[in-house]
């Protein structure tokens, strides 16, 4: 199964509480943090919520 490498590229300061919580759930706390997650619908939904704050790459 493919994995998603998620990198936080922007700050969550101006975001909503929901966006900040989503970043924490993805394992991201500050700019430059990287997290690798399974490519599942649950994580794809989280990624869409904060797409403007992160960069996503598929890795194997």
CA distance 25 to 30: 13
Number of domains forming the structure of the chain: 1
The pLDDT of residue 44: 96
Name the residue range of residue 44's domain.
3-59
Structural tokens at position 16: 């909503």
**Looking at the whole model, is its pTM more than 0.85?**
yes
Mind listing the pLDDT tens digit for each residue in 27-51?
A: 999 999 999 999 999 999 999 999 9
The pLDDT of residue 1: 85
Cα 56 to Cα 25, 36, 43, 53, distances in angstroms: 15, 10, 11, 10
Query: Where do the H-state alpha helices sit in 11-55?
Result: 17-25, 41-49
CATH number of domain containing 52: 3.30.1390.20
Q: Is the pLDDT of residue 60 over 90?
A: no
């Amino acid at each position: 199964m493919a994995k998603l490498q998620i990198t936080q590229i922007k700050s969550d300061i101006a975001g909503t509480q929901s966006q900040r919580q989503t970043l924490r759930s993805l394992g991201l706390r500050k700019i430059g943090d990287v997290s690798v997650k399974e490519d599942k619908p649950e994580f794809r939904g989280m990624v869409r919520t904060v797409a403007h704050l992160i960069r996503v790459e598929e890795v194997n």
